Amino acid sequence: MTVPLSPPGPADATRARRRHGSPALGAGLLGAALALAAMSVLSLAVGSGDVALHDVAAGVFSPDRSVHGQMIIQEVRLPRTLAGLLAGSALGVAGALMQGIARNPLADPGLLGVNAGASVTVVLAISVLSLTEPAEYIWFGFLGACVAAVLVYGIGSLGREGATPVKLALAGAATTAVLGSLTSAMLLRDSRTFDQFRFWQVGALNGRDLDVLWQALPFIAVGGVSALLLGPSLNALALGDDLARGLGQRIVAVRLTGAASVVLLCGAATAIAGPIGFLGLAVPHAARLITGPDYKWILPYSALLAPALLLFADVVGRLIARPGEVQVGVITAALGAIPFVLLVRRRNVVEL
Amino acid sequence: MARLVRVRRRRRARGALVSGVLLAVVLAAFALSLTTGDFVIPLADVLATLAGGGDGGTRFVVLELRLPRALLALLVGGCFGLSGAVFQGLLRNPLASPDVIGVSAGASAAAVLASMVLGLSGIALSAVALTGALLTGAAVYLLAWRKGISGYRLVLVGIGIGTGLSSVISYVMTRSDVTEAQNAFLWLTGSLNGRSWTHFWPLFGGAVVLLPLALVGSRALPALQLGDEAAGGLGARVERDRLAMLACATALAGLATAAAGPVGFVAFVSPPIARRLLPGHGAALVPSALVGAALVLSADYAAQHLVPGTQLPVGIVTSLVGAPYLLWLLARANRVGRGG
């Protein structure tokens, strides 16, 4: 393993700041927020049901459920849009956080086994406990995400050098395979569970109760705020453990707080939308292209860009297979692959 | 000088010994899978049947049920093991096995689409899966190309493509009826249940051509492993050799996937096991293939007999065995501080 994987050094950070400057980045953040708002409106306004534009605004703010269009907004599109906002932000921040604390360009809930952990416990809940409602079995997904994250990080960080990228990625791949085969073993014996699981597994925003969102919201809020507060510490971590320690960072505490936030965010996002891949991997890399390597900016950019992308993907999924639809997890994978490959081809990202 | 010769001789002796032991393990597992099952046939009777004797019932069980399945396990394991060793060796990255970088996912996606949307089966299905593997491999290679191939860029691109393809598979599974989806899922787990000669011959035909090619090509491997510049300096035609070997390894993985599904972890874990058995031997292609064959044969045996009354797919067993082994390997390597 000779490819250098440490993030760009402080010289790059200074250069990036000189090039962009904080005001420009602040304005960019505003632009990202506007893009997100536009995507939210799009997600409310576009879909297979026929909804007049004036019903959209009314359906959100003062719904009259006797009007069909307003009922669709209230019952279908508003929960769906909120689900996209929450799950997208959570995944974007979680991805950036994972890449920061693990100093690992490959960090993603999918790659590091967190999704697989959520899947295996969801299947357990469906097949053993006979739970049928997402609002019931999501908490098992949450539990599984925690266990998998702890397992992967624990194994990956054994030894002198701590959690190096390669060790973490290998531990993640191995854990994913173990949990995946446990999931398969359960599913193959039980076709009813399999039938439910195959729809959960693609990752989707439709059919989510507001209840689920309310349950997930506190976890995302706590995880998100603590992630944003970790920005400066992540910048120090990027210099390497020894330098970070020299700068007065308690690196173990930073990593533990970060990992706890990741688990909260990924677990809640998976609970809302199922395992959505790519978003947590691709969006922070895209954000880094705009902001440079400063995590104080990467984190908020990821928090805004990821839900914008997720909502856009969801809208595309509603339009391309009418009258049916393509689940958003499929679209994010397809849409995410293109910029992802472009990003990977840039030398500095590969060596991050 | 004399010392160097002695070291070389000892290394060669160890290589022969390890290969011999692995071969014995493969043969033992092969014999075990021919003799045992719902009822036990003594080895002597099996040998007599293979030689052309035996009664009708024994002939049917050995020649039609157990032999094709055991041969298939042997070849699938060998192909995956060799393919993984070539990938990991050439790209100098332990993550760069065909199952990680999307080649198996490409074969799977093509096969799932072909069987569920177009209703293909048999050799046509194998051909489609092989095509899917090669196209995916080519796409990953081309997309990762940037004045040469770096192992990490290729792994990242491969993971990206693989993720996209897996979601296509999941989507196709939501669009079909539950029985069909479940059959596809069984195949996607990697299974040798109910495999017959019709599954064996396409793989055999491909392997007869590709295995020798890969082994001949592997003579360029030591030079390539020194890194592009050093290899070029030694006169190796770096890109041409690497491309040829990768194409070979991709086709091997694609054919094996067509025959048995993407059997988890064999390509990933066989080469590290072989390299640990033979430190200092480079990519250890033949031992990797033997480890793969032993792994799939014994895993399939366990899959058939582990849970009475149920035939598990072999992929579940290889993952359940292979992945903890990798975790153990990681934990151990980490403790002594060599964890990458």
DSSP string, A22-67: HHHHHHHHHHHHHHHHHHHHHHHH-SSS---HHHHHHHHHS--TTS
Tens of pLDDT, residues B42-59: 888 888 888 888 788 888
Q: Do A158 and B182 touch (CB under 8 A)?
A: no
* A350 — pLDDT class (breaks 50, 70, 90): very low
Report whether pLDDT(A289) > 90: no
Percent of all residues in chain A with a pLDDT value above 70, rounded to a whole number: 88
**Token code pair at residue A304:** 């805004």
What CA–CA distance (Å, rounded) separates A276 from A269? 8
Chain B residues touching residue A120 (CB < 8 angstroms):
none
Tens of pLDDT, residues B138-153: 999 898 887 777 767 7
Quote the Cα angle for A6-A10-A12, to 5°: 85
Contact A66, A72 (CB under 8 A): no
Q: Write down the pTM of the prediction.
A: 0.80
Chain B residues touching residue A185 (CB < 8 angstroms):
312, 316
Highest mean pLDDT among A99-108, A172-181, B192-201: B192-201
pLDDT of residue A193: 81
Residue with tokens 């109760």: A209
Core vs surface per residue B216-227: b (16+ CB within 10 A) or e: ebbebbebbeee
ipTM for this model: 0.73
Q: Do A181 and B336 touch (CB under 8 A)?
A: no
Tens of pLDDT, residues B181-212: 888 888 888 888 888 888 898 899 999 999 88
* A7 — pLDDT class (breaks 50, 70, 90): very low
Contact B272, B294 (CB under 8 A): no
Q: Do A3 and B151 touch (CB under 8 A)?
A: yes
Q: Which of A179, A184, A281 should one mutate to test binding to chain B, selecting the residue with the greatest count of B CBs within 10 A?
A: A184
CB pairs under 8 A between A and B: 173
pLDDT of residue A4: 39
What's chain B's average pLDDT?
Answer: 84
Chain A residues touching residue B150 (CB < 8 angstroms):
3, 350
What CA–CA distance (Å, rounded) separates B153 from B95? 11
pLDDT of residue B254: 92
Contact A271, A213 (CB under 8 A): no
Chain centroid to Cα A157, Å, comes to 23
More confident residue, A70 or A9: A70
pLDDT of residue A66: 78
**Token code pair at residue A198:** 């195959």
Q: Do B94 and A111 touch (CB under 8 A)?
A: no
* A27 — pLDDT class (breaks 50, 70, 90): confident
- Which residues, at least 6 apart from A4, have a Cβ–Cβ distance to it below 8 Å? A351
pLDDT of residue B333: 64
Give the mean model confidence (pLDDT) for residues B162-187.
84
Q: Do B167 and A194 touch (CB under 8 A)?
A: no
pLDDT of residue B234: 66
Report whether pLDDT(A6) > 60: no
Q: How far is CA B232 from CA A43, B46, B154, B222, B240, in A?
A: 54, 52, 20, 12, 11
* Contacts with A, B 262-281, CB within 8 Å: 264-265, 268
Chain B residues touching residue A115 (CB < 8 angstroms):
none
pLDDT of residue B68: 92
Residue of chain B minimizing CA distance to A5: B152
Q: Could you tell me if B5 lies within 8 Å of chain A, comparing CB atoms? A: no
Tens of pLDDT, residues A147-174: 888 888 888 777 666 666 667 777 887 7
Chain B residues touching residue A191 (CB < 8 angstroms):
178-179, 182
If you ran DSSP here, which 8-state letter would residue B75 be given?
A: H
Q: Do A330 and B168 touch (CB under 8 A)?
A: yes
Residue of chain A minimizing CA distance to B164: A333
- Which residues, at least 6 apart from B210, have a Cβ–Cβ distance to it below 8 Å? B79, B248, B251, B252, B255
In B77-223, at which residue ranges do the beta strands (DSSP E only) sit? none
pLDDT of residue B236: 62
Residue with tokens 């040798």: B192
What CA–CA distance (Å, rounded) separates A184 from B185? 8
Chain A residues touching residue B178 (CB < 8 angstroms):
191, 194-195
Chain B residues touching residue A159 (CB < 8 angstroms):
333-337, 339
